Amino acid sequence: MRVSVPTIITGLGAPKRTISPAAAVERIADFLAPGKVTLLTGAGVSVASGIRAYRGKDGRYMNPNYQLRSYLGYPPVRDTLPNTSHYAIAALQYASYIPRLVTQNVDGLHHKAIAHLWEPDHIQKQILELHGTLHRVHCKRGHVVPRNTFQNWLSASNPQWKVFVDNLEKTGQKPRTNPDGDVELEGVSYADFVVPECPQCTLESQQSSFVRGSVIAMLHNVEQSERVFVLGTTLATYSAFRLVKRALELRKPVMLLNVGPTRADGLSSSLVLRDVVRAILGSRASQDSAIVHLLQSGIHQPPAEDHEIISRNT
């Protein structure tokens, strides 16, 4: 586990140091205790939920027809449960120490972790999705469709692929899925996959095609906060890096918590965040029933070191 607190002048070039979980808890708690923090999370936060983090420098689609790959990858992400880190973060949100959460993740797990405490409209205001979400899609003219509805449309338009997905579920097989819901496939032809038109556009006699959620500007949230906490991301994508860059330009304190790729490191991160919540909230962590529930919730099921990549010859 590596925790760094960069200074404005020398922080970005500071050497990485490994410290104990106890020291990490103290340092992070001291950083977060004043409140008014913007939290930026990345794929590493969801690894303990079984969602594989990116291993490369970016998460760009390497195949132009990503609708098929996402069609296969959406069900596993949809059914994934929040882990202990998501619930620890939710406790800090609920206690108003983290009023702004910006996530690079499209899995919706931050939303699931706090959904029983906050109304959907409030969640949408407090949790901002930098790269959009897997749980809604929109056409190029802006008509929004719930992802489950769109998934059903894809199934109806591609019955042969629906059979393939049903067989995966029956056998318990899971294709290797990236954190954006994109599945890695080998030996697959995309030529026969049909993407349905937007019904609303069809009624209006307009051309359309469905796309992912658009990128949302988050600089305002960084500017309104007093400090920035970065968790579970390498900042390889510029959309995330520019938020940290802006914070440093404004001379705001920035802390980065980064964990290694091993299962032991992932467990340590979860325990660290829970202990951070207890350190900050004190007796409230054991007396507030909502926070007690949050700190007792969450799974820890990181993905296997190597998934079998399922291929389909067509």
All domains in the chain, ordered by first residue = 2-60+83-132+215-295 (3.40.50.1220)
Q: Rounded to whole angstroms, how far apart are CA atoms 140 and 198? A: 9
Residue 205 amino acid letter: S
Low-confidence ranges of the chain (pLDDT < 70): 1-18, 54-66, 180, 184-188, 205-217, 258-270, 305-314
The per-residue pLDDT for 184 is 67
The per-residue pLDDT for 75 is 85
| Catalytic residue (one of 110, 131, 135, 138) | 131
Sheet with 144-146, edge to edge strand ranges? 144-146, 136-139, 210-211
The per-residue pLDDT for 56 is 43
Active site (annotated) includes residue 131: yes
**C-beta of residue 279 within 8 angstroms of C-beta of residue 25:** yes
Q: Where does residue 251 rank: exposed (0-12), middle (13-18), buried (19+ CB within 10 A)?
A: exposed
Q: What is the pTM of this model?
A: 0.77
The per-residue pLDDT for 140 is 77
